[in-house]
Copies of this chain bind each other. A is one copy, B any other.
Amino acid sequence: MSQTASAEPEHLFLRACRRLPVPRTPIWMMRQAGRYLPEYRAVRAKASFLELCRTPELACEVTLQPIDLLGFDAAILFSDILITLPAMGLEVAFPDKGPKILAPVRDRAGIDAIVVPDPEAELPFVMEAVRQIQRGLGGRVPLIGFAGAPFTMMTYAVEGGGSKDYAHTRKLLFGDPGAAHALLDKLARTTAVYLEAQIAAGADAVQLFDSWAGILSPRDFREFALRWSKRVIELIRESRTFAARPVPIIYFVNGCAPYLEDYATSGADVLGVDWRVDIDVARRGVGDGVALQGNLDPGALFLSPRDLRDRVAEVLAKAGPVGHIFNLGHGVLPETDPEHVRAMITAVRELSTRAGA
C-alpha cells in the first residue's frame, strides 16, 4: 500500500469507503457468516438462530468464520435486523421458515405502546459480541455493525413477518400517515442509538439495511424510507459517540434503481447497489460524492468459475477503481458452494490489482 498520512485509514475497506486510492478493490459479502458455510451449519446444529444472536461467544465464532476460512476484507457482525424489536416491546420468533412478530402493530394504540430502548441495557449481548469479535480479529480487517432502516423495520412490525404485497404496511402509510410517521420516528431513534452503541463498542463502520424500501413509489420512497434513514444518519453524525469515532456509514436500499438521484442525498458515505441495476448506471445516477458497494448477482455464484470470473470482471470494470467495495447485490444464497465464493474473492483480488500498487 502506498504511503498515507497518519489520519488516513490503512485498511482497504475503510479507504474505499472514503474514496481514497487503494492498491486493489476490497471485498466482503452480505450474509458472509451464514448457511452456505458448513462450519456455520455445524454451530447452528447446536444452537437456535436466536441463541446464536444472543450468545456473544457464538456470534463471535460465526462472524470470524468467513474471515479465517475465505479471507474477506471486512467482517460483519453476526446478528439479525429484527433483534431490536423485542427491546421495543414486540416479541419475535425465528422459526426456520422466516421470522414472525407475534403481535404486529397496525394502529395508533399499538404504535404508542412501542418504546425506544436503551441498547446497552436491553441488547448488551450485541455490544459484547462486537468487543469479542474485535479481540478475535486483532486488527486483521475492520468490523461492520448494522441495523435495519426504519422503513424496513416498520414493514416487519406491521406485517408480522415477510409479505407478498405489504398490504398492511400500505394501509397504514396511506390510511394513517401520521401514525406511520410516529412509528418511523421511534424506529429511527432506536436505530440511531443502537448503531451508536455498536460504534462505541468498537464497530469500524455501520450499515443500514433498507431491504424493503424498494416496494415504494419514488415519492413514497422519499417520504417514508429515505427521510427516516436520513434522520438516523443525522442523529448518528450529531452524537458524541460519532465525534469520538467518525466511522463510515453505509446505506443499502434493495431495488434502488428508480431512486438514484434521491439515494445520493442520504448522507451516507457509501451506498449499497443491488444487482438489478448496472453499477455504472448507478454511479451516473448518484454522482461522485459517495462510494458504492456491490453488486454481483448472488445467483452468479452458481456459474462455472470461468463464467463467474467474467461477471466479476464486468462489475469491476463498470464500478471503476475509486470508491468501490466489491459485494454481492444481496445476501449470498444458502445453496452456494463456498468454493465458488473463494473463486470470486480470488477473481476480485487478481483482476482489481492496480499496476504499480
A interface with B by C-beta (< 8 Å): 98, 162, 164-167, 170-171, 173-175, 214-218, 220, 255, 257-258, 275-278, 281, 297-303, 307, 329-330, 333-335
Contact = CB atoms under 8 A, between A and B. Distances in A.
B167 A164 contact: no
Contact of A218 (B215, B276, B330): B276
Contact of A217 (B220, B297, B335): B297
B333 A165 contact: yes
A276 B299 contact: no
Contacts of A301: 174
Given A255-B255, A257-B258, A297-B217, A170 B302 contact: yes
Contacts of A329: 217
Given A164-B162, A167-B333, A258-B257, A174 B302 contact: yes
Nearest to A215: B276
A174 B216 contact: no
Nearest to A303: B174
Contacts of A162: 164
A212 to B, nearest CB: 12
Centre residue among A216, A281, A302 by max chain B CB count within 10 A: A302
Nearest to A166: B299
A29 to B, nearest CB: 15
B175 A302 contact: yes
Contacts of A175: 302-303
A146 to B, nearest CB: 19
Given A162-B164, A164-B162, A175-B302, A333 B258 contact: no
20 contacts: A162-B164, A165-B298, A165-B330, A167-B299, A167-B334, A170-B297, A170-B298, A170-B299, A171-B302, A173-B299, A174-B302, A215-B276, A216-B297, A217-B297, A217-B329, A218-B276, A218-B277, A255-B276, A257-B258, A258-B281
Contact of A258 (B167, B215, B277): B277
Contacts of A333: 165, 167, 170
Contacts of A298: 165, 170
Contacts of A173: 299, 302
Contacts of A302: 170-171, 173-175
A215 B270 CA distance: 23
A300 B258 CA distance: 18
A180 to B, nearest CB: 11
B171 A335 contact: yes
A214 B174 CA distance: 25
A206 to B, nearest CB: 25
Q: List the 10 closest pairs (A to B, CB-CB), nearest first.
A: A170-B299, A174-B302, A257-B258, A258-B277, A174-B303, A257-B257, A175-B302, A217-B297, A217-B275, A167-B333
A324 B315 CA distance: 36
Nearest to A331: B165
A14 to B, nearest CB: 28
A117 B299 CA distance: 31
A167 B335 contact: yes
A334 B165 CA distance: 10
A175 B175 CA distance: 45
Contacts of A330: 165
